[in-house]
Structure formats: C-alpha cells, structure tokens
Amino acid sequence: MPSIRAPASKQTATLQVAVKCRPLTDDEQRRSRHIIQVIDDKTVVVLDPDLSKDYLDLIQNRTKERRYTFDHVYPPGCSNSDVYKNISSTISGVVQGLNATVFAYGSTGSGKTYTMVGTHSDPGLMVLSFRTIFELIKKDGGPDTFEVSCSYLEVYNEVIYDLLEKSSGHLELREDPQHGIIVAGLRSIKVHSADRILELLNIGNSRRKTESTEANATSSRSHAVLEITVKRKQKGQYGNQVLRGKLALVDLAGSERASETNNFGQKLRDGANINRSLLALANCINALGKQNKKGLAYVPYRNSKLTRILKDGLSGNSQTVMVATISPADDQYHHTTNTLKYADRAKEIKTHVHKNIGTLDTHVEDYQRMIDSLQVEVSQLKKELAEKEHQLSVKPTEKAADSELSWLNVLSQETGENVQERINLQKALFELEETNKRNRLELQHLDDAIARHQVKEMDSTVLQALTSRRQVILDNIRDNDEAGSGYRKVLIFFYSLWFSCLQVTLRSFSLRTLK
C-alpha cells in the first residue's frame, strides 16, 4: 500500500457555484408562469410571482424579485455539455493527484439527476467526467502507469448501501487517519475503460431507490455518490512515487413538501429523512459561509451521514463544484429562492487543495539491488577493519594493542550483525511484496468474476463462494501490509543504529590518531 507523505504546500480554493435552470414542462407551460430571467452568464433574476399588488405594496415598492450572481449561470435549454465545459479543468486535476467533488443541489423535480446522470443523447456530468479521465490517461505518453477504480454508494433513510453489491447490507462510516472519512466494507472495482464505469453506473442506478410522486415521476429517494480513484505511479530513483486523485460525483435527493407530493406512509417518512439530511447539509453550508466571513463557527457535520461523506468536498482537500438546479415555474418560487440562497452562501466556502503524494513499496528489482549493496558494504567494512587491526598490532605497547583489537572485534561483530539483520528484513519485505502482488492479482480476478455473476444473476452459491474467497484475500492483504509496516519501522531503526555506530567509530579513530 502507498504511504502518504505530508503535502509540500496547500492552496486555498473557493467553492465554484453554477446555477442551471431547466425548461418548463408541457404541463407547467399550461398552468405556470416563467419567473427566471438569465441576465448574462453570471447573473440570474427571480421575478416576483405575484402579479397583483395591493396599494401598500405599490406605494412602498415591495417586491419578491431577487437577483443573484454566481460563477456560472445556464439558461433553460442548455445541455449538460455546456455545464461541463466550465468544470472540465477541475476534473482534469484528478489525473495529477488532486481531489475533486461535484454535486447537484436543488428541490425535487429541478433536474439534479438529469444533470448528473443525463441521457444517451445528453450525457450527464458523471459520464462526461470519467470519459475525460480515460481520455487524459490515453493521451499521456510518459512512463507513468495508471490504476483506476470506482465505488458507488447510496444513503437511504440515513443508512448506507453499496450499489455495486446485489444485496448490500448496512455499511458504517469510519475515520481513517490517512484518508479521512471512509465507508467500511464498500466495494471498489478496478476499471480499464469509461464504458466499464458506465456499465457499473447503470447497474447501481437500477438498484437505487426511486419512487413516483406528484412532484416528480421518477423521484430519487436516496443520495448517491460515485467515487473514482486514480493512482498514478511515477518511477523515481528511490522507488515509485504515487499520485492519488479522487473524484466524488454526488447526485442528491431533492427536498420536497408533503403538500406538493401528496405522499403518505413510507414515502412520507422517506421525504422527512431526505429533508433532514438536506437540512444538515444546508446548516453546514451556512456555518462554513459564516466561518470564512466572521471567523470560527461550529460546522455540524455529524448531524447526517451525508454531510460526513461530503466533509472533504465542503471544507477539506478538494476542488469542489456545486451545481444548483432550479425550476422556472412560479409555483416553485419558494424552492427556487431557497436553493439560490444556499448556493449564494456556498460561494464563501474555502477548501485547501494539495496533491496526494505517496511512495509505493519498492519493486523486486529494487529489493535485490539493496541486498547486493548491503553485502558489498559488509565486505568493505570487513576489509577496513582488518587493515586497522594490522596497524594496531604493530604498536609497541602490547596491552594497548590487545585493547584496541578487542574493541575492534566487538565493533566488527556488532556491525556484521546489524547488516545481516537488515538483509533479513529486506528479504522478508521482498517476500511480502511478492505475496501481496499475487493476492491483488487474484482479488482483481475475483472482482471481475463477481461483477459478471451479478450482471448475469447466476447461481447464488457460486457468488457466495467467490465473495467469501474475496474476503479472505482482503484479510491476507491487510495482514501483510501491517507486517510490512512493522518490518519497515525495524529496518529504519537498524539503519539509524548503524549510522550512529559509524559516527562513533570515526570519532574514536580520530581521537586515537590525534593521541
């Protein structure tokens, strides 16, 4: 496993906010009025939905009209490709070891899922993003090697499920000291093409919870997060450097009012949970906006699993894009202004971006080279000690010579033992590397076999056996990684001990020469 080093420098980035307005539907054109006016590519005006004004409103110039300015504003009729043009540079950074987050925010029926997933004729931001990643990898003509993997989860009623597992159980969030918030047990599949991710995306979407409501014919009842990880291995003088970029693509469920959806029973409870998690997200956006304006403010990430998952994207190491989707219908005025209000506050949010740089375990050839160099080092040390023994043996005082020779013998023995221990540790690390290389190859074959069985829905007994074997391999990899980490710590200790002995030896010889 790569070991992550501390970043050399951090850059502060402002959360990028775009607003996308969908067209009126045929039904809305018959019963609603268009209240969204796009002034230019950065300014949007929400017109007053009330045409009739009483005397006081006219005299005091009261109006519900609102004007907002954002990084990008897209009028009705724009395509997902138009939106993607302005965020493609953020996606490109993933191949260079940067993190990125893209999420759509808005009320139910405002076009979030269409923006993120899209259709065959108008692909969404998810599809366009992973196509860009593979195009950049294909264009790269250098010696670097790339490894791409993806995972897909949903948060439904504050419970996390794996959308790439046919019958996923409840998954739990964990705090990892190196990688931050992770989902324990979430399946990550290695992929080699954009078509493979699209296939997995379609599988996951078919398992996602959706229902028909009066506000939306196919309302998403869960929040979905597609995460793509790109590892870029760069060969250097002392092993391999790894750049690890992560792209989180989030399709949120939409906030809704029970009076508009006419939900009851389970749908009503689902809507309440959706609104609760979105309220937690809105509270985090509010707190982060105040934090950057007025100083420290408590950010309630722990109020929802959704906000914990999005923590890096909102305030951590990530270049983040928020696409606020709105409806132009006058009966959606309150939803539209609420969405734009939170989007306007999100403009104040700052993130701290840096490259994720790590070092990969040394390859087999490097281990062999290190062992050879250590053996040469042993021979040179023995030769030097033999010369010093010969010089000391010709001293006139026999007692002093015996003392010097005894001291040199002890030092020679300790140095030899130290070097031998280092050789043994290097060999042990070499064997662990070989074993884990075979384990990871088998794990990749198992993942592919499990994915094929899930697509074809074959015998559950075979699938269970494959899944059990996969867990055994994962446990072996984890145990080997822990053992390798221990070996490296001991190896560093022996190197420092050897270096200290060498310094003492040189100092002692200098003092004896002066005498």
132 is in an annotated binding site: no
107 is in an annotated binding site: yes
Q: How many helices (H) and strands (E) does the chain have?
A: 15, 20
* CB 433, CB 361: distance < 8 Å: yes
Q: Domain end: 359, 388, 420, which one?
A: 359
486 is in an annotated binding site: no
Residue 5 domain-assigned (yes or no):
no
Q: Are residues 306 and 319 in the same domain?
A: yes
Residue 313 is assigned to a ligand binding site? no
- Any binding-site annotation on 113? yes
Give yes or no: residues 203 and 343 share one domain.
yes
Of 359, 379, 409, at which residue does a domain stop?
Answer: 359
Q: Is 109 annotated as a binding residue?
A: yes
Q: What is the pLDDT along the chain (515 residues), one digit of tens a residue?
A: 444 444 446 788 899 999 999 999 888 888 888 999 999 999 999 998 887 766 556 566 678 889 999 999 999 989 999 999 999 999 999 999 999 999 999 988 899 989 999 999 999 999 999 999 999 999 987 788 899 999 999 998 889 999 998 877 889 888 776 667 889 889 999 999 999 999 999 999 888 876 655 444 456 778 999 999 999 987 654 456 788 999 999 998 876 554 454 444 455 565 566 778 888 888 888 888 777 666 666 888 888 898 999 988 888 889 999 999 999 999 899 999 999 999 999 998 888 888 888 755 545 555 566 666 767 777 777 777 777 666 666 555 454 555 555 666 666 666 667 677 777 777 777 777 788 788 878 877 787 777 776 656 556 777 777 777 878 888 888 777 777 777 777 767 666 666 666 666 666 655 555 45
Residue ending a domain, choose from 359, 387, 413: 359
Kindly state whether residues 235 and 254 are assigned to the same domain.
yes
Instruction: Give a yes or no: residue 130 inside a domain.
Output: yes
Verify that 247 and 368 share a domain, yes or no.
no
Report whether 223 contacts 306 (CB < 8 A): yes
What whole-number distance in Å separates Cα of residue 173 and Cα of residue 157? 15
Q: Do 147 and 123 reside in the same domain of the chain?
A: yes
Give the CATH number of the domain where residue 300 resides.
3.40.850.10
- What span, in angstroms and rounded, lies between the C-alpha atoms of 121 and 107? 24
3-state secondary structure 296-347: CCCCCHHHCHHHHHCHHHHHCCCEEEEEEEECCEHHHHHHHHHHHHHHHHHC
Same domain, 382 and 336: no
The boundaries of the domain holding residue 507 are 362-514
> Does 388 share its domain with 485?
yes
One domain, residues 119 and 160: yes
- Let me know if residue 230 belongs to a domain: yes
Residue 93 counted as an annotated binding residue:
no
Please list the residues that pair with 350 across neighbouring strands: 14
Query: How many separate domains does the chain show?
Result: 2
106 is in an annotated binding site: yes
- Answer yes or no: is 10 within a domain: no
The verdict on 251 and 346 lying in the same domain is yes
Same domain, 397 and 351: no
Calculate the CA dihedral of residues 88, 89, 91, 95 and round it to 10 degrees. Answer: 130
